[in-house]
């Protein structure tokens, strides 16, 4: 029986001729990632090992992004721990205030992940890099510690689901709509510990940013990882951002899948995920009259330049609804600069929004936009669990930047066509 894309990458990194679903393997790692919340735990575990140094200072990335600039004493102590570890071990890819960005936007931008890599990160949305044709998945901090110390990790080889992407999307349809549609269709455990593999002639209509968004939210369907084949668009991105060699892996014609779905992009409408699970989806015409208090545009899911461009198109020359808070967070410093040069930041500020330095911030209920009891937020982030963005009696509605920006103008959940 043939192998899937993911299985081929894992076999390559385990130095095995083949693997199959359910096999336990030990794989060599291309990159180990941690942030300011998860890295201190891993660092303390390494200290318990009495291990001197790390396996490769060039293959570890430590990104201060969740509570940076530090919001309180505890977050400052966490970052101090990571800073000292990075300095002691001469970690090449250490990103702090002034250089940092939201980790899952920053690593591809810096060229630290390429096709064929095997990456673990102590953050569940590490699956983002599957957009580049890499195997990447989230792990716990103890696995991160072992990875930093040894350069290896144990995996159970996942089975896979194939998603055939066909058709051409409409004007305002983005990768966020695609993945919310899929999660609504299969549920938050529909791909539990499976690889979500995206193929089909419709992929040519999905930009790299669309693919990053889709792979990012594979975990919201329970997936072990999400992955795209390496095509011309991927190769252009890799050549622009990285000088590292890469490997292309394609699924065998006789690869085994537990299920197959076809997604016709031409039939999709804007999708909104209702509280308190990403699977609670409705199309924009099913939403009804839901007033909101806040809009957040940003995160590792939708804080890239195309996301800010989409929001700016909707907001330009208009004003956000009186009494509404609109928070825009560019994902990296480079995105921030480009948005400034293109005039998007002026558009946001003149519309009545605020623009933050790159940070995860409100996405995980950290800071820069915490919700009070009873408040509702339309957000381009990836999770809307109970209490995710603040009070347990607040509500988060997940949507694309187009929908978020349109909602900012009307003060209720709205589609972009409503404000044209």
Residue 368 domain flag? yes
User: What is the mean predicted confidence (pLDDT) over 5-23?
Assistant: 97
Cα torsion 24, 103, 41, 45: sign: positive
Among 402, 391, 382, 369, smallest CA distance to 299 is for 382
For the stretch 314-348, pLDDT in tens is 999 999 999 999 999 999 999 999 999 999 999 99
Q: Where are the beta strands (DSSP E) in 268-307?
A: 271-273, 281-283, 294-297
Q: How far is residue 24 from each of residues 141, 162, 356, measured CA to CA in Å? A: 20, 22, 43
- Among 263, 283, 308, give the residue marking a domain's end: 263
Residue 268 domain flag? no
Task: For residues 176 and 37, state if they share a domain.
Answer: yes
Among 25, 22, 1, 385, smallest CA distance to 195 is for 22
Residue 346 domain flag? yes
Task: For residues 367 and 252, state if they share a domain.
Answer: no
Residue 248 domain flag? yes
Task: For residues 81 and 172, state if they share a domain.
Answer: yes
Residue 282 domain flag? yes
- Counted domains in the chain: 2
Task: For residues 54 and 201, state if they share a domain.
Answer: yes
For the stretch 164-223, pLDDT in tens is 999 999 999 999 999 999 999 999 999 999 999 999 999 999 999 999 999 999 999 999
Range of the domain at 326: 273-419
Among 226, 229, 210, smallest CA distance to 218 is for 226
Task: For residues 387 and 330, state if they share a domain.
Answer: yes
Instruction: Please name the residue that has the structure tokens 């800071």.
Output: 367
- Among 216, 235, 263, give the residue marking a domain's end: 263
Q: Which two tokens stand for residue 296?
A: 């957040």
Task: For residues 120 and 181, state if they share a domain.
Answer: yes
Task: For residues 258 and 316, state if they share a domain.
Answer: no
Task: For residues 330 and 228, state if they share a domain.
Answer: no
Counting Cβ atoms within 10 Å, is residue 285 exposed (0-12), middle (13-18) or buried (19+)? exposed
Query: Is pLDDT of 50 > 90?
Result: no
Residue 227 domain flag? yes
Task: For residues 149 and 278, state if they share a domain.
Answer: no
Task: For residues 292 and 339, state if they share a domain.
Answer: yes
pLDDT band at 137 (very low <50, low <70, confident <90, very high): very high
User: What is the mean predicted confidence (pLDDT) over 390-396?
Assistant: 96
Which CATH number does the domain housing residue 353 bear? Answer: 3.30.499.10
Say which DSSP state 291 is in.
Answer: B
Say which DSSP state 253 is in.
Answer: T
Task: For residues 257 and 382, state if they share a domain.
Answer: no
Task: For residues 20 and 43, state if they share a domain.
Answer: yes
Residue 359 domain flag? yes
- Among 263, 290, 309, give the residue marking a domain's end: 263
């Amino acid at each position: 029986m043939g192998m899937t894309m993911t299985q081929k990458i894992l076999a390559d990194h385990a130095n095995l001729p083949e693997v199959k679903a359910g096999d336990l393997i030990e794989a060599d790692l291309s990159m180990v990632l941690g942030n300011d919340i998860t890295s201190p735990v891993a660092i303390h575990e390494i200290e318990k090992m009495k291990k001197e140094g790390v396996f490769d200072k060039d293959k570890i990335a430590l990104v201060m992004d969740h509570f940076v600039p530090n919001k309180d004493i505890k977050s400052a102590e966490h970052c101090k721990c990571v800073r000292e570890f990075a300095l002691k071990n001469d970690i090449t890819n250490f990103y702090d205030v002034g250089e940092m960005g939201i980790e899952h936007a920053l690593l591809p931008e810096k060229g630290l992940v390429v096709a064929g890599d095997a990456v673990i990160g102590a953050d569940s949305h590490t699956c983002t890099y599957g957009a580049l044709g890499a195997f990447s998945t989230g792990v716990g901090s103890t696995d991160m510690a072992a990875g930093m110390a040894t350069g290896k990790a144990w995996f159970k080889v996942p089975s896979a689901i194939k998603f055939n992407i066909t058709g051409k999307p409409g004007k305002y349809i983005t990768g966020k709509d695609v993945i919310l549609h899929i999660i609504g269709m299969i549920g938050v455990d529909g791909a539990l510990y499976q690889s979500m593999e995206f193929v089909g002639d419709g992929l040519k209509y999905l930009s790299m940013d669309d693919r990053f968004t889709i792979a990012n939210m594979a975990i919201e369907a329970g997936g072990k990882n999400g992955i795209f084949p390496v095509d011309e668009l991927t190769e252009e991105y890799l050549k622009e951002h990285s000088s590292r060699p890469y490997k292309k892996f394609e699924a065998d014609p006789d690869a085994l899948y537990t299920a197959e779905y076809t997604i016709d992009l031409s039939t999709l409408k804007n999708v909104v995920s209702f509280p308190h699970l990403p699977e609670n989806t409705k199309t924009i015409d099913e939403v009804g009259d839901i007033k909101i208090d806040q809009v957040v545009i940003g995160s590792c899911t939708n804080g890239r330049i195309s996301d800010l461009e989409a929001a700016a198109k909707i907001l330009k020359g208009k004003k956000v609804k009186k009494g509404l808070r609109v928070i825009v967070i560019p994902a990296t410093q480079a995105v921030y600069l480009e948005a400034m040069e293109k005039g998007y930041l002026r558009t946001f500020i003149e519309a009545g929004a605020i623009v933050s330095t790159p940070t995860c911030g409100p996405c995980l209920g950290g800071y820069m936009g915490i919700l009070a009891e009873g408040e509702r937020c339309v957000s381009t982030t990836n999770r809307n669990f109970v209490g995710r963005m603040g009070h347990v009696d607040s509500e988060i509605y997940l949507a694309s930047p187009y929908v978020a920006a349109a909602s900012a103008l009307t003060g209720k959940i709205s589609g972009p066509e409503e404000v044209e």
